[in-house]
Amino acid sequence: MSKKYLNNSWYCGAWATEVTTGLFHRVIAGQDILFFRDKAGEPTALSNFCPHRSAPLHLGKLLDDKIECPYHGLQYGLDGKCVHNPHHPEGEPQKSACLQQFPIVEQHDLLWIWMGDPDLADSAAIPDFSCHTDKSMAKVFGVIEMKAYYELITDNLLDLTHASYVHEGVLGSEGIINGEQEVISDGTTIYVNRWCPDHLAPPAWDKAFGDYGKPMDHWLYMRWDAPAHMLLDVGVTPTGKTRQEGLWVYGTDILTPQDETTTHYFWAITYNKGIDNPEVAKMWEHTIDFAFGGQDKPMIEAQQKMINLRGGVDIEDLESIWLDTDSGPKRARLMLKKLMAKKSAIPEPKNPGLRECMEESDKAKDKSERIIPAV
At residue 271's C-alpha, the angle toward residues 268 and 275, to 5°, is 115
Residue 88 binds which entry of Fe ion, ligand FES, none, CB below 5-8 Å type-dependent = none
Nearer to ligand FES, 23 or 160 (CB): 23
Which of the residues 74 through 93 are near ligand FES (CB under 6 A)? 74
55 sits near ligand FES (criterion: CB under 6 A): yes
Choices 68-76, 164-172, 235-243, 332-340; region in contact with ligand FES by CB under 6 A: 68-76
Output the smallest distance, CB 45 to ligand FES, in A.
Answer: 19
Question: What is d(CA 109, CA 119) in angstroms, rounded to the nearest whole number?
Answer: 24
- Report how far Cα 195 is from the mean position of its chain's Cα atoms: 23
Nearer to ligand FES, 87 or 355 (CB): 87
Residue 69 binds which entry of ligand FES, Fe ion, none, CB below 5-8 Å type-dependent = ligand FES
Q: How many residues belong to the site for Fe ion (CB under 5 A)?
A: 1
Of the residues 19, 46, 50, 372, which one makes contact with ligand FES according to CB under 6 A: 50
- Between 278 and 297, how does the x/- string for binding to Fe ion read (CB under 5 A)? ------------------x-
Q: Are 292 and 298 in contact (CB under 8 A)?
A: no
- Between 244 and 283, how does the x/- string for binding to Fe ion read (CB under 5 A)? ----------------------------------------
Residue 143 binds which entry of ligand FES, Fe ion, none, CB below 5-8 Å type-dependent = none
Output the smallest distance, CB 113 to ligand FES, in A.
Answer: 23
Choices 10-18, 20-28, 49-57, 123-131; region in contact with ligand FES by CB under 6 A: 49-57
Residue 146 binds which entry of ligand FES, Fe ion, none, CB below 5-8 Å type-dependent = none
Output the smallest distance, CB 57 to ligand FES, in A.
Answer: 8
Residue 296 binds which entry of Fe ion, ligand FES, none, CB below 5-8 Å type-dependent = Fe ion
Give the Å distances, CA to CA, from 155 to 27, 148, 172, 224, 250: 22, 12, 17, 11, 19
98 sits near ligand FES (criterion: CB under 6 A): no
Q: How many residues belong to the site for ligand FES (CB under 6 A)?
A: 9
Residue 74 binds which entry of Fe ion, ligand FES, none, CB below 5-8 Å type-dependent = ligand FES
Nearer to ligand FES, 89 or 278 (CB): 89
- Between 259 and 298, how does the x/- string for binding to ligand FES read (CB under 6 A)? ----------------------------------------
Q: Are 11 and 121 in contact (CB under 8 A)?
A: no
Question: What is d(CA 333, CA 316) in angstroms, rounded to the nearest whole number?
Answer: 10
Output the smallest distance, CB 32 to ligand FES, in A.
Answer: 14
- Report CA torsion sign: 207, 211, 214, 219: negative
- Between 296 and 315, how does the x/- string for binding to Fe ion read (CB under 5 A)? x-------------------
- Report how far Cα 125 is from the mean position of its chain's Cα atoms: 15
Buried/exposed code over 47-71 (b: 16+ C-beta within 10 A; e: otherwise): bbbbbbeebbbbebebeeeebbbee
Q: Are 216 and 199 in contact (CB under 8 A)?
A: yes
159 sits near Fe ion (criterion: CB under 5 A): no
Of the residues 61, 72, 214, 305, which one makes contact with ligand FES according to CB under 6 A: 72
Residues within the interface to Fe ion (CB under 5 A) = 296
Residues within the interface to ligand FES (CB under 6 A) = 50, 52-53, 55, 69, 71-74
